[in-house]
Amino acid sequence: MRKAIYPLIAAGAALMLYRAVYGLGAVTALSDYQPWGLVKAVNIFFGASLPAGSFVLAASVYVFGARSFRPLVRPALLMGFIGHTFVLIALFYDVGRPLYVWRIMTNPHASSALLWTAWSETAYTAVMVVELLPDALRRADLVRMVEKVKVPLVILAAVLAVVYQYSLGTLFLAAPLELAPAWSGRWLPALFILSAVAGGLGMVVIERTISGRQGRRKTDPAVIRRTAALMGVFLALYMLVRVADLVTRGALSGGSPLRDAWLITEICAGVLAPIVLLLIKRVRETAWGLVAASSLTLFGVLINRLGVTIVGWELPKGASYFPSPLEFMASVVFLLAAASLYWYASGLLLANPSPVPEVQAADLA
């Protein structure tokens, strides 16, 4: 696996260096009319949604005492840590002046949605470090302090993870006239949250299934089925809110043949199809049936984020946007590098995972 990671990391480093030397205009087709682009849509808005399932599972175990999800916590949090790391890398690649990003912490603006994004990233990283500490440190004298800090951090990070997705949706409420009605509306932040959690849980189902088939530490199939069932609940909630919002606003049409097809694909293939698959007993009781439903869920989240950021973004007459070759290359390299690094790291860190401690009511006081 290391042989696969190194070329991807080298390609990503070369892209970052080229971007630093020649500027944003040399690596993207962005303009004043299209500020988002493919890298933001795929590697930031879509990529940031995948780790959302991590905190749902962590909060279920540490806060609500759902012991059945305990085997999924460490791999899910590792997935979230690596996923958010590459979200930050993509952000540095695709932001106009990356060397000044740190100023969001030293000169905060409480009304800015980006401030909540930065805080959630900080809290998320803190939880990852605490959870993924080496076993040697867990046997040291600091172990009690670590365990006491973990639960409050999980609670804080779970709250901020919700705020994070909400803030991403809120960004687009600031420019309601720039979005086609099918991807706008006041329910957009809530839809970001519901779809992100469903997609994150789907990612956990896919990873645990493939890991077990590849000889990694296996997870009880019943636990994976329960995770998929939880994904189905969030999908159903998303479907209910999405359709109700479109109907009440009279936004069932995207405004063009491409947008109509995009909207139908999102709802039918990315939401309705996985729900139907999960309702079929023969499908939900097979590993690859759950993988198929989870893959369609991820596809739906990706289509939605592309719809919000690119397809549904209104451009003035005469303006156009199509991703540059380097945008395609950057998106693919970042995603593959993140997946390869997770596969390698999970083989090292999760081979003999430390047991997740029981959470007592006193720990929450």
In DSSP terms, 313 is beta-bridged to 179
User: Phi first, then psi: what are they for 247, rounded to 5°?
Assistant: -70, -50
Q: What one-character DSSP code corresponds to residue 64? A: T
Q: What is the mean pLDDT of residues 252-265?
A: 88
Q: What is the mean pLDDT of residues 141-169?
A: 70
**CATH number for region 2-350:** 1.20.1630.10
Q: How confident is the model at residue 128 (pLDDT cuts 50, 70, 90)?
A: low
**What is the predicted pLDDT for the residue at 348?**
67
Which of 128-132, 152-156, 358-362 is predicted most confidently? Answer: 152-156
SS3 at position 313:
strand
> Is the confidence at residue 137, as pLDDT, over 60?
no
Residue 291: count of CB within 10 angstroms of its CB: 20
Give residue-wise pLDDT tens across range 344-353: 777 766 655 4
**What is the predicted pLDDT for the residue at 103?**
74
Structure tokens at 35: 């500020």
User: Lowest-pLDDT range, 132-136, 253-257, 304-308?
Assistant: 132-136
Residue 177 burial by Cβ neighbours in a 10 Å radius (0-12, 13-18, 19+): exposed
Asked if residue 18 lies in contact with residue 327, where contact means CB atoms within 8 angstroms, the answer is no
Asked if residue 324 lies in contact with residue 28, where contact means CB atoms within 8 angstroms, the answer is yes
Question: Hey, where are the domains in the chain?
Answer: 2-350
User: Lowest-pLDDT range, 73-77, 79-83, 141-145?
Assistant: 141-145
**What is the predicted pLDDT for the residue at 279?**
93
Asked if residue 218 lies in contact with residue 212, where contact means CB atoms within 8 angstroms, the answer is yes
Give residue-wise pLDDT tens across range 197-251: 999 899 889 888 887 776 666 778 888 899 999 999 999 999 999 999 999 998 8
**What is the predicted pLDDT for the residue at 361?**
37
**How many residues are listed for the chain in this entry?**
365
Cα(325)–Cα(322) distance, integer angstroms = 9
- From 55, 53, 28, 90, select the one nearest 337 (Cα to Cα): 90
Please state, rounded to an integer, the average pLDDT across all residues of the chain: 80
Residue 301: count of CB within 10 angstroms of its CB: 27
In the chain, % of residues over pLDDT 90? 22
Q: What is the mean pLDDT of residues 268-279?
A: 94
Residue 332 CA neighbour count, 13 Å, CB half: 9
Which position has the token pair 């995972």? 353
- From 348, 329, 357, 341, select the one nearest 27 (Cα to Cα): 329
